[in-house]
Amino acid sequence: MEILGIDIGGSGIKGAIVDTLRGVFITDRHRIDTPDPSTPDAVAVVVRELVEHFAWKGAVGCTFPAIVKRGVVYSAANVDKGWIGTDAQALFYEATGLPFWVLNDADAAGLAEMAFGAGRDNRGIVMALTFGTGIGSAIFVNQTLVPNTELGHLEIRGKDAERRSSDATRKRKDLSWEEWADRVNEYLAHVEFLFSPDLIIFGGGVSKRHEEFFYLLNTNADLVPAQTLNDAGIIGAALAARQQVAS
């Protein structure tokens, strides 16, 4: 089944049509900068532009960088605070006339990795972590998602972990890979203590450069780079929509 997947991030909004049976794009990815300010109405305009770009007429899967329950947004760490309480699914339906299924961005990335990537067939406790504008997290127990974990907001040294260890922080503070890895290792040790995962999948935009820093990371759990890389959100969003359509 082919479904349009859209990945809303703090800096960019990306989309592609996905073959959800194989977990691959069947079109080129199209990206538009996230508007500033990233208000609900402004983002809805970009989402409509993406739908029109692909001339899409079916169901759409869409990620959002926040807690999302039944399509309603409940937090806004890296987007405009006006999103809190917004029914994103209804908003995007009004903007496009198409049915949308909206879920947390890291949950979508995790779904992609569990179906088509590094977590495929793993029946243990798996954590998928995404390092980008913030830190996203998804936890799976026996292939079942525990949604909206938001572990990027765990407190490390009195701050949100993502304020110390995200890829955006690395760039903003011009940290060396060694300096950044020290911060990431502190974060990984904390989440391992809390959840004792069997496998940690390291994803997000920075994962495509894992050869430059992976040897610096230390975990008790098996640690592997994401295989779907920065396409994970789009693929996972489309997969989630397919599951909803099927049910």
Task: Give the pLDDT means over successive 10-residue stretches in the chain (247 positions).
Answer: 94 96 97 96 98 97 96 92 97 98 97 96 95 94 96 95 96 98 98 98 92 97 94 96 88
CATH class of this structure's domain 2-107+231-246: alpha beta
The two three-digit tokens of residue 206, written as one number: 């920075």
How wide is the angle at C-alpha 162 spanned by C-alphas 206 and 92, nearest 5°? 80
* Residue 37 preceded by cis peptide, ω within 30: yes
Q: How far is CA 64 from the centre of its chain?
A: 8
Instruction: State pTM to two decimals.
Output: 0.94
Q: What is the predicted pLDDT for the residue at 140?
A: 98
Longest Cα–Cα distance in the chain: 48
Q: How far is CA 152 from the centre of its chain?
A: 12
List CB contacts of 40: < 8 A, sequence separation 6 or more: 80, 82, 83, 86, 88, 91
List CB contacts of 21: < 8 A, sequence separation 6 or more: 1
CATH 3.30.420.40: does it fit domain 121-226? yes
The DSSP output letter for 86 is -
Q: What is the predicted pLDDT for the residue at 229?
A: 86
Contact 195, 146 (CB under 8 A): no
> Quick one: which of 151, 140, 150 has its CA closest to 113?
140
Neighbour tally for 194: CB within 10 Å: 10
Q: What is the predicted pLDDT for the residue at 120?
A: 94
**Where does the chain hold its CATH 3.30.420.40 domain(s)?**
2-107+231-246, 121-226
Q: How far is CA 37 from the centre of its chain?
A: 20
Q: How far apart are CA 88 and CA 44, in angstroms?
A: 9
Q: What is the predicted pLDDT for the residue at 121?
A: 87
Q: What is the predicted pLDDT for the residue at 78?
A: 84
Q: How far apart are CA 29 and CA 13, in angstroms?
A: 10
Strand ranges (DSSP E) for the chain?
2-8, 12-19, 24-25, 30-33, 60-64, 68-69, 72-73, 100-104, 125-131, 135-141, 144-146, 155-156, 159-160, 199-203, 222-225
* C-alpha separations of 213 from 119, 195, 197, 202 in Å: 21, 24, 21, 11
